[in-house]
Structure 1
Amino acid sequence: MARKRSSRTYLRLFAALLLVALIGGGWAWWDMHHWLPDRARFPVQGVEIGAADGEIDWHTVKGIGADFAYVDASASAFARDPRFVRNFAQARAAGLQAGAVHRYDPCQPADRQAANFVTTVPRDKALLPPVVELDMLADECPVKVGDAMVESELMTFLNQVETHTGKPVILKISQQFEARYAIANRIDRNLWLVRDRFQPDYAGRPWTLWTANSRLANEIADDGLRWVVVQP
């Protein structure tokens, strides 16, 4: 009889601990997806938007506190975000500062990628500095691309895009790209780093932009918004 009571006690204790864990996990999930950096600490905040976010109500984006929007524009040598023109125009009409993002592909020639970007993004002095997203690695390229070639081609791309826009490019570097190529300290450009909730330090020097929440829960995008802050 005592053994049965002891067994029931352990089962109740296990159930209680499981319930606490489930509640704690649920709260942590909710908190992470609704968390925003302190506005007093980071007064300028905004979003990155692309076709995967679906139809965007830009006035609502402005209403929840976005001051600017970076809009996904082009990728690799030929791809273009199908919603770029609409998103870009509507973001500006809603009163947000706007800029464009190119997703860089180390397997494709830099001049073709630059041509893709400059024919997609208008030349306009009012635009925010252009951004090149560095996340794809050259390890799976059909033709071998060495590390030195990745850096050399990237510089070609930057020079051509900067000639078009008249502004230095911002390097949006993922942790895996930086770990592979250590590019942040070899190319002197402002950095955009990515890490949910906690400030990133993987570049070895200060960042200018930070994706602080990659899936901010809201009424605008079902899968969450990429929420970005500016270093004050």
Structure 2
Amino acid sequence: MKAARKSHLHLVRTLTATLVILLLCLISLVLFQNQPAEAQDHPVQGFDVSHHQGNIDWKKISPHKYQFVYLKATEGGDYQDPSFQQNWLKAREQGLHVGAYHYYRLCREAKIQATNFIATVPNKTDALAPVIDLEYDANCLQNSTQEQLLKQIQVMLKMLHQHYGKPPIIYTSKTFYHIVLMGHMPHNALWIRDYDEAYPKLKDQHGWMFWQYTQQGHIEGIQQPVDLNVYAGSMTQWQSYLRYLGVIHH
């Protein structure tokens, strides 16, 4: 009887250990899915931050590990991110390739928003191209036609291009792109936010330059979760793009 009891106890322990291992594997798989393998395979990695990330210790962030960072500068017609100026100076001192983005308000006049951005973000030759963040806003979408929205967005794109001498990038979700932008912005570089798929694909097969693949990233020197991004091309293509912008020279 004792031998049978021992055998039964051994079997229970073995099954329990097996279940624990399977559970750990399942947890690891879920975590891995939140950090797409395709994103990790891209050689050019970056991130974006705003005041929501709090006080950042930029000296802990390697410019060799992260080839670019975008900072929130402005929103709408009169808001400036309180951390932008400090982040702009510290990130540049650290040797990172730095750019700024504007959170676009669909209900505000584009000219006013562009003026806000231009007054806030220095015109530096070695800075990355400006970015316009286009978000879904049901109220504003209902009060404007697609034609009106596109016309206003084009106004801001043109003003930023003229001022900074670099073609702005459009950051957006797949939803906003498909509803508003698809078929109307064939020549604009896209930065796509997509946390759900292993690789973002647009209905019209439009390519993307940047992909924001998670908002739950962790970077030493930043206490809060952070958005992580990748560049679509190779390191050689990235260097060519930087030369095109005038960020680096031959």
The interval holding the TM-score normalised by the smaller chain is: 0.7 to 0.9
Relative distance call for 1:36 and 1:59 in structure 2 (3 A) is farther
Deviations 1:10-35 (A, max 9, x none): xx9xxx79978864553345435666
The 5 A counterparts of 1:12-91 are: 23=24, 26-32=27-33, 41-62=41-62, 65-91=65-91
1:35 and 1:216 in contact (8 A); partners too: no
1:105 and 1:136 in contact (8 A); partners too: no
TM-score, L = length of structure 2: 0.76
1:105 deviates by 1.0
Relative distance call for 1:143 and 1:77 in structure 2 (3 A) is farther
2:98 and 2:127 in contact (8 A); partners too: yes
The 5 A counterparts of 1:129-208 are: 129-137=129-137, 139-141=138-140, 144-181=143-180, 183-187=181-185, 188-196=187-195, 198-202=198-202, 204-208=205-209
Deviations 1:32-53 (A, max 9, x none): 56667566x4222111111111
Relative distance call for 1:185 and 1:58 in structure 2 (3 A) is farther
Relative distance call for 1:64 and 1:32 in structure 2 (3 A) is farther
Residue correspondences, number? 216
Q: 2:119 aligned with 1:119, yes or no?
A: yes
Q: Identity percentage over the alignment?
A: 25
2:35 and 2:213 in contact (8 A); partners too: no
Q: Which ranges of structure 2 fall in alignment gaps of 5 or more residues?
A: 1-11, 234-250
Separation in 2, partners of 1:32, 1:18: 21
Separation in 1, partners of 2:202, 2:142: 29
Deviations 1:29-87 (A, max 9, x none): 54356667566x42221111111111111122226811111111111111111100001
1:191 deviates by 0.8
TM-score, L = length of structure 1: 0.82
Q: Which ranges of structure 1 fall in alignment gaps of 5 or more residues?
A: 1-11
1:67 and 1:96 in contact (8 A); partners too: yes
Separation in 1, partners of 2:225, 2:37: 12
1:215 deviates by 1.3
1:153 deviates by 0.4
| 1:5 corresponds to | none
Deviations 1:102-149 (A, max 9, x none): 111110000100011000101111110111111133x31399211110
Relative distance call for 1:184 and 1:85 in structure 2 (3 A) is farther
| 1:9 corresponds to | none
Relative distance call for 1:32 and 1:69 in structure 2 (3 A) is same
Separation in 1, partners of 2:37, 2:54: 22
What SS is found at the alignment partner of 1:199? coil
| 1:3 corresponds to | none
What SS is found at the alignment partner of 1:55? coil
Backbone CA RMSD of aligned residues: 2.8
Separation in 1, partners of 2:64, 2:28: 22
Relative distance call for 1:152 and 1:69 in structure 2 (3 A) is same
Relative distance call for 1:113 and 1:18 in structure 2 (3 A) is farther
Separation in 2, partners of 1:218, 1:124: 26
Relative distance call for 1:128 and 1:218 in structure 2 (3 A) is closer
Residue identity opposite 1:150 in structure 2: L
Deviations 1:179-228 (A, max 9, x none): 321x1431221111112362211263111111122211344334422111
1:33 and 1:217 in contact (8 A); partners too: no
Residue identity opposite 1:66 in structure 2: Y
What SS is found at the alignment partner of 1:212? strand
